[in-house]
Chain A
Amino acid sequence: MNDLQPGRGLGNAAEGAVLALAMRGDSAAFGELVRRRQSWLRNLLRRLCRDPSLADDLAQQTLLQAWRTLQGLKAASAFNTWLRRLAINTWLQHLRRAPGQTENQAAAPDTPAPPSAVGLQLDLDRALASLRPDVRLCVVLAYHEQLSHTEICAHTGFPLGTVKSHIKRGAAELRSLLDCYSPKESSHDR
């Protein structure tokens, strides 16, 4: 068996070729896919579950599940969508196994951190964690993954109206929780 290591000349290989090799069971090619997708996948799961180490664990589970079932993927072009669905299902399974574990630990950011990229990231994740999981999922898919409402319906199985209302409500809650990061307008102070 090949090592699941990136490299072996695959670093510059075209995406389609790497994917085709991985679908035939080449573990080095899959390692290259891991290298290319890990940052996106971990960021997605960090937005969904706040805790970075838990997000990394779920990302690992997702990737191992992907490796086991990759040969069943019908079209290489659907890989990203398929991997995203696997990640969402892994997160949902985690929620079912440990309900409440990652929920409600995170109240709204009570003491606003000074505006900075790191502070914003932490506060955004805390604010997201205070949303209901179904609302959070819709908001993350819309804002982080930039999916259309229709695509979110396909990913979640929620009706279009539910998706729209979840996104609207979740966005309003996030705006109020992250108000300290809003650009200040002098007219408001008058």
Chain B
Amino acid sequence: MTDELDPQLARWFAAAEQSLADAEFAARVTALHRRRWSPSAALRISTLVWRGLMSAVAVALRRRPALTGLAAIFALALSIGLALQG
């Protein structure tokens, strides 16, 4: 439902509408979709999470006891951030 449209302008918009071929565009969407959800992407994310956890443990073991908890939390947050960016 439209209100108070300029009929000539409406005709120009209708005339400018193209039927765009789908094959190439759909292939690009498919390629992007695969890249984002491929097994290699999942492996990369898992590796980053694992590395982050290991660095959290390493930091926790090296620091003085008073700072251990804080450092571990920081390292965990860092690892999660890295994983989400990957």
Contact = CB atoms under 8 A, between A and B. Distances in A.
A90 to B, nearest CB: 14
A117 B15 contact: yes
A149 B1 CA distance: 9
Interface string A134-177: 00000000111011110100000000000000000001001100
B30 A38 contact: no
Binding site of B, secondary structure by majority: helix, strand, loop or mixed? Answer: helix
Nearest to A140: B13
Nearest to B3: A149
B9 A143 contact: yes
A140 to B, nearest CB: 8
Contacts of A89: none
Contact of B13 (A5, A38, A143): A143
A124 B26 CA distance: 26
Binding site of A, secondary structure by majority: helix, strand, loop or mixed? Answer: helix
Number of chain A interface residues as a range: 35 or more
A34 B29 contact: yes
Given A39-B22, A59-B25, A142-B2, A175 B8 contact: yes
A38 B1 CA distance: 23
A149 B17 CA distance: 21
Contacts of A34: 22, 25-26, 29
A146 B2 contact: yes
Given A64-B36, A144-B13, A149-B3, 16 more contacts: A1-B37, A5-B30, A6-B22, A31-B29, A38-B26, A38-B29, A39-B22, A42-B20, A43-B17, A64-B32, A121-B15, A124-B13, A124-B16, A125-B16, A178-B12, A182-B8
Interface of A: 1, 3-6, 27, 31, 34-35, 38-39, 42-43, 47, 56, 59-60, 63-64, 67, 117, 120-121, 124-125, 142-144, 146-149, 151, 171, 174-175, 178, 181-183
